[in-house]
Amino acid sequence: MINIVLLEPEIPANTGNIGRTCCATGSRLHLIEPLGFQISDKMLKRAGMDYWDKLDVTVYDCYEDFLEKNPQAAGNMFMATTKAHQTYTDVSYPEDAYIMFGKESAGIPEEILVDNEKNAIRIPMNHNIRSLNLSNSVAIVLYEALRQNSFLEAERDGQLHRLHWHNK
C-alpha cells in the first residue's frame, strides 16, 4: 500500500481531494499537524465527497510523532519538492513507499529536505510557474508509484456497454 504524507496541509479542499484519491487507489493518508482546518470541516468532507468514511487516515501531532509511529518510513520516504534534482519518474517506488508533500504555502521545510536530499523528487514544469496545486501533485506522483507497481490492487479493466442503436 502506498502512503501519502501531508505535512501541515492548509487548505481543506485539497486534503479532501487527496483523501478521495487515496480511497480510489487504496492508499493510506497521513496528516501531520498543525492542520489549517478541522477534520470535521465541511469543505474537507465536500471535496472528499462520500468517500471520507472509507479513508484510511491517521493524524499525527508533529513530524517527529509521525516518524516515531512509522519507523518503516525511514529510508522509504520520497519528498516532493520543487527543489529536488531528480524527477518523480527517475526513482523506483516500493509497494509500501511513503510520499511526502509539504504545506501549500511553503512546501517541505529545508531542514527536512537536507536530510533527505537523495529521496527528493520534483514534477517538471515551466520555470516561471512556482508550483502545481497540491492535490494535482499528489495524483501525478501517486499514479506513477502505482504504475511502477502494476497498480497493486486497483481494478485495471473497465466494462464498456455497447448500446445497439437502430434506425427506424
Smallest Cα–Cα separation from 122: which of 81, 151, 163?
81
What is the side-by-side order of every strand in the sheet holding 98-101? 57-60, 28-32, 3-7, 98-101, 77-80, 120-122, 86-87
32 in a labelled binding site: no
123 in a labelled binding site: yes
CA distance linking residue 20 with residue 14, whole number of Å: 10
102 in a labelled binding site: yes
Annotated binding residues: 102, 123, 131
Annotated binding residues for S-adenosyl-L-methionine: 102, 123, 131
